Structure 1
Amino acid sequence: MDDLEEHLGLHKHLVDDDGDSSDNSSTLRGKKLRLPLVQPMFVETKKETGFTQSCRMCLEQIREAMLHHRWQEAAEYMACYPQILEDKACYTTKQYKELIWRASTEILHHHPKSTIEDYNIIYERLKHSGFKLYLKVSLEHSFHLMLQGKFEDAKQHLAAAESWRYGKESSAQIQRTKLIQAYRSLLDFIIWSEKKVVLSNNNTVDALSENQSMHNYFRQASVNLKGILSNPGVWDPFILSYVEMLEFYEDYEEALKVLNDYAFDNSFPPNPNAHVYLYKYLQRHGAPQKKLIHVLKNLQLLVPSHELMLEYTSLLLQSEKQKNTQKALGIVLEMLDFACWRNNLDVWMCLKTIIDKLQTEDDWESIISEKMTLRKEWWPALHFTRFHANKDSEENPELLEVKAPLVKILCPDRTLKYYAEPVTRGK
Structure 2
Amino acid sequence: MSVVSLETPRETGFHKTTRNCLQHIREVLLHHRWQDAAEYMASYSQTLEDTTANMPQLYAEIIWRIGTEILHHHLDSTLEDYNSFYERVKHSGVKHYLKVCLEHSFHLLVNGQFEDAKIQLSIAESWRYGKQSAGQSQRISGFLDYLIWCDKKATTSNEYDAAVNQEMHSYFRQSSVNLKEIMKLPGVWDPFVLSYIDMLEFYNDHEGAVKVLNDYAYDDSFPPNPNAHVYLFRYMKKQNHPLKKLLKVLKILHTLVPSHELMPEYCSLLNEGDLQKALGVVLDLLDYSSWRSNLDVWNHLLNIIKRLRMKKQWLKIFAEEMGYRKDWWLAIHFSTFQARKDSAENRELLEVKSFVVGAFCPHCK
- TM-score between the two structures when normalised by the length of structure 2: 0.66
Superposition pairs of residues 176-187 of structure 1, within 5 angstroms: 176-187=133-144
Provide the rounded CA distance (Å) in 1 between the counterparts of 2:354 and 2:103: 57
Question: Could you say which structure has the larger radius of gyration?
Answer: 1
Answer whether contact 2:200 2:206 (CA < 8 A) is retained. yes
1:377 to 310, 318, 327: 327
C-alpha spacing 1:143/1:397, structure 2 compared with 1 (3 Å): closer
The answer for the alignment partner of 1:99 in structure 2 is none
Superimposed CA distance per residue, residues 228-262 of structure 1 (whole angstroms, 9 cap, x where no aligned partner): 22111111111010011011111222111110000
C-alpha spacing 1:151/1:273, structure 2 compared with 1 (3 Å): closer
| Runs of at least 5 residues in structure 1 that lack an aligned partner in the other structure | 1-12, 14-132, 167-171, 417-427
Superposition pairs of residues 20-99 of structure 1, within 5 angstroms: none
Matched length: 267
C-alpha spacing 1:360/1:235, structure 2 compared with 1 (3 Å): same
The answer for the alignment partner of 2:223 in structure 1 is 269
Amino acid at match of 1:299: L
Provide the rounded CA distance (Å) in 1 between the counterparts of 2:153 and 2:253: 33
Provide the rounded CA distance (Å) in 2 between the counterparts of 1:244 and 1:335: 32
Answer whether contact 2:233 2:246 (CA < 8 A) is retained. yes
- Of structures 1 and 2, the one scoring higher in RCO (CA 8 A, sep 6+) is 2
Answer whether contact 2:229 2:249 (CA < 8 A) is retained. yes
| Runs of at least 5 residues in structure 2 that lack an aligned partner in the other structure | 1-11, 13-93
Counting aligned pairs with the same residue, the percent is 49
Superimposed CA distance per residue, residues 58-94 of structure 1 (whole angstroms, 9 cap, x where no aligned partner): xxxxxxxxxxxxxxxxxxxxxxxxxxxxxxxxxxxxx
Answer whether contact 1:341 1:347 (CA < 8 A) is retained. yes
Tell me the CA shift for residue 177 of structure 1. 3.2
The answer for the alignment partner of 1:224 in structure 2 is 178
Answer whether contact 1:276 1:299 (CA < 8 A) is retained. yes
The answer for the alignment partner of 1:110 in structure 2 is none
Amino acid at match of 1:277: Y
1:281 to 229, 235, 246: 235
Provide the rounded CA distance (Å) in 1 between the counterparts of 2:326 and 2:305: 17
The answer for the alignment partner of 1:290 in structure 2 is 244
1:149 to 105, 108, 115: 115
1:234 to 182, 188, 192: 188
The answer for the alignment partner of 1:420 in structure 2 is none
Answer whether contact 1:139 1:180 (CA < 8 A) is retained. no
The answer for the alignment partner of 2:356 in structure 1 is 406
Answer whether contact 1:142 1:158 (CA < 8 A) is retained. no
> Residue 191 in 1 paired to residue 148 in 2?
yes
Tell me the CA shift for residue 141 of structure 1. 11
Superposition pairs of residues 307-318 of structure 1, within 5 angstroms: 307-318=261-272
C-alpha spacing 1:409/1:369, structure 2 compared with 1 (3 Å): farther
Provide the rounded CA distance (Å) in 1 between the counterparts of 2:196 and 2:98: 26
Provide the rounded CA distance (Å) in 1 between the counterparts of 2:99 and 2:347: 57
Amino acid at match of 1:406: V
Amino acid at match of 2:298: W
Provide the rounded CA distance (Å) in 2 between the counterparts of 1:412 and 1:134: 59
Quick check: which one's helix share is greater?
2
C-alpha spacing 1:316/1:339, structure 2 compared with 1 (3 Å): same
The answer for the alignment partner of 1:392 in structure 2 is 342
1:299 to 253, 263, 271: 253
1:254 to 202, 205, 208: 208
Tell me the CA shift for residue 143 of structure 1. 6.5
Answer whether contact 2:98 2:124 (CA < 8 A) is retained. no
Answer whether contact 1:326 1:367 (CA < 8 A) is retained. yes
Answer whether contact 1:138 1:157 (CA < 8 A) is retained. no
> Residue 215 in 1 paired to residue 135 in 2?
no
Amino acid at match of 2:152: K
Answer whether contact 1:188 1:217 (CA < 8 A) is retained. yes
Answer whether contact 1:233 1:269 (CA < 8 A) is retained. yes
Provide the rounded CA distance (Å) in 1 between the counterparts of 2:316 and 2:362: 12
Provide the rounded CA distance (Å) in 1 between the counterparts of 2:312 and 2:102: 68
Could you say what secondary structure the match of 2:134 adopts? helix
> Residue 350 in 1 paired to residue 305 in 2?
no
Greater shift after overlay, 275-284 or 372-381?
372-381
1:339 to 289, 297, 322: 289
Cα-Cα RMSD: 3.1
C-alpha spacing 1:208/1:289, structure 2 compared with 1 (3 Å): same
Tell me the CA shift for residue 194 of structure 1. 2.1
Tell me the CA shift for residue 138 of structure 1. 12
Amino acid at match of 2:281: I
Could you say what secondary structure the match of 1:230 adopts? coil
